Chain A
């Protein structure tokens, strides 16, 4: 009926573009000829702000990058800063960091899979289930550091609050209940025939394309490429913990979903082990302040969305000379035009949902 290209501007306010993403879709009928993500609606020049803040002052800003995984951002930045300042966190702090990072990974993946289901048209039910479970994690964090979204918990040299028996019990309860609840997600989504029909073999991401675009995290592992910073460049105490890297086979939307579900199970295992092995002692190391970073460092950690890298250059001043953040979502969204081409609109939305991007991290 329509011979010309139909241009649809999806976003920045649209129900399925997570956050303020603006997709310019050029359609032939309902087939996507071209898909151009326009970013920048959430730009706060955080990297520039870093040049007028001390390293400690910058930690709250990292909360606002990937706001669904603030702990992992805190952790990535603090580890980079510690490597630059040659500080080593105490053992207890290292275990606490592993616990909060993995709990936050679960919280983030819960939202990832449920918003993906939402994009496939499973109205809010999965989302509300995920919110219910995430609430338990958020309460644990609230108890730990008094915040529910922006934690500012991991500090250079340690963490801001210590584990109490009450919190440890909350975490143990959460692990026990979540193990059961994850089976519900399998019933509701993973093995649902319509869910599979919508996501199997849709948006297949070839391994070489994923690598050339710098796609990391669950999206890369879904293609079957075994890359997990926690295993391959172990930081903290990950090398002492027993966990598996979950891999997909074909790299379709369902694999990306399922890798996340499996990772939640592994994260529960990690939290359980770390909690059991938590050493006694003070969670904060005494450090000399103010920090005067000198030299440069690049440190990457495994955030729920992939390789989160912080590149810090200091010239002996209190403020860093330059700070660059390698945000995994940025690379993950850049592969979307390749994947969306030739799909119809429904599948393009499915692919976008399965990539699990967070705009706060892309725009910085």
Chain B
């Protein structure tokens, strides 16, 4: 049997790169969020650790690594212990078909975007496990809210992705990028609507303001991860920011032409677009108040889902007419 050693080594190197990128990107995003929020709020943010506090996240990571791992009494240990992995691992796995450039992709699955959407929704299981296993009422309420929210927003999210898939004629991430070579999808009116729906639903998917209801600080302390400490907490935190990057990167790929761009190398364009969306979502987070649970559910089921359905129908009609 011919064992594909070279292939495996190549994949391992790519995997190592993805893991490194996830860690660095999460740390960078945490620092960036603190700086952006400080900038919006007339503050300076972290300043002491390195130039402009650049190493603040490194210091925080070291601190969290050294912290004691506290198990709440009465916790359902197995579920409680497993939950962070269920949240963190799917977030990393989603990077498998994230197109950083024409050749900079771990593996261009032919189900690309479908894979990303499905793998990231596994994390809701981890969130609910954390809420259930912690033996804490705030965590339970947070977990329940989160499950309801993520499952509801999955529907408009996928429907808006469907519009892009119909336009591109493929589900592969690279295929979607290549389909945008004549012009970004965002320039088409029906995809513009899909973009708005996608961005709103994706914000809800990653529990950010105005949909940060599962973590609603003023109501639920910290929601589902209230009882986690040390590295287990860090895993939730990293997963949160990784998911945040994933939705921004996916938005860039689906609507803004991904790595397409003149002059600069394609990964630069990809990161530039992704971080542009990251910045926009941060801006939103530090400006808007939070919606209420029922308002948010009403919005998902009575506004976004019908709108997304109509959008799919209209897109289909146009495509059929065009032939």
From 285 to 317 in chain A, residues with beta carbon under 8 angstroms from any chain B beta carbon are none
Are B293 and A121 in contact (CB-based, < 8 A)? no
From 203 to 259 in chain B, residues with beta carbon under 8 angstroms from any chain A beta carbon are 209-210, 212-213, 216-221
Q: Show 7 A/B contacts (Cβ-Cβ < 8 Å), sorted by A.
A: A8-B137, A8-B138, A122-B209, A125-B286, A346-B213, A346-B293, A353-B218
Are A344 and B289 in contact (CB-based, < 8 A)? no
Q: Which residues of B contact A344 (CB under 8 A)?
A: 292-294
Given A132-B42, A198-B289, are A121 and B221 also a contact pair (CB < 8 Å)? no
Are B291 and A197 in contact (CB-based, < 8 A)? yes
Are B41 and A346 in contact (CB-based, < 8 A)? no
- A195 and B290 alpha carbons, distance in the complex (Å): 8
Judged by a CB distance under 8 angstroms, whether A255 is at the interface is: no
- A227 and B285 alpha carbons, distance in the complex (Å): 39
Contacts between the two chains (Cβ within 8 Å), count: 85
Q: Which residues of B contact A123 (CB under 8 A)?
A: 37, 209, 217, 285-286
Are B219 and A194 in contact (CB-based, < 8 A)? no
Are B292 and A129 in contact (CB-based, < 8 A)? no
Q: Which residues of B contact A30 (CB under 8 A)?
A: 141, 293
B204 to chain A, nearest CB (A): 13
B306 to chain A, nearest CB (A): 19
Q: 1/0 per position for B130-141, CB-CB distance to A under 8 A?
A: 000000011001
A225 to chain B, nearest CB (A): 28
Judged by a CB distance under 8 angstroms, whether B8 is at the interface is: no
Looking at A33-41, A112-120, A236-244, the stretch in contact with chain B turns out to be A112-120
From 4 to 42 in chain B, residues with beta carbon under 8 angstroms from any chain A beta carbon are 37, 40-42
Instruction: Indicate which residue in A6, A15, A121, A128 contacts B289 across the interface (CB closer than 8 Å).
Output: A121
Are A197 and B218 in contact (CB-based, < 8 A)? no
Judged by a CB distance under 8 angstroms, whether B43 is at the interface is: yes
Kindly name the residue among B42, B138, B219, B220 whose own CB sees the greatest number of chain A CB atoms within 10 A: B219
From 95 to 143 in chain A, residues with beta carbon under 8 angstroms from any chain B beta carbon are 117-125, 128-129, 132
Are A346 and B292 in contact (CB-based, < 8 A)? yes
By Cβ-Cβ distance, the 8 closest A-B pairs, closest first, are A121-B290, A16-B218, A128-B41, A122-B289, A120-B289, A119-B218, A346-B292, A121-B289
Are B290 and A120 in contact (CB-based, < 8 A)? yes
Are A128 and B42 in contact (CB-based, < 8 A)? yes
- A349 and B289 alpha carbons, distance in the complex (Å): 13
Judged by a CB distance under 8 angstroms, whether A192 is at the interface is: yes
- A119 and B220 alpha carbons, distance in the complex (Å): 11
Tell me the nearest residue of chain A to B211, going by C-beta.
A121
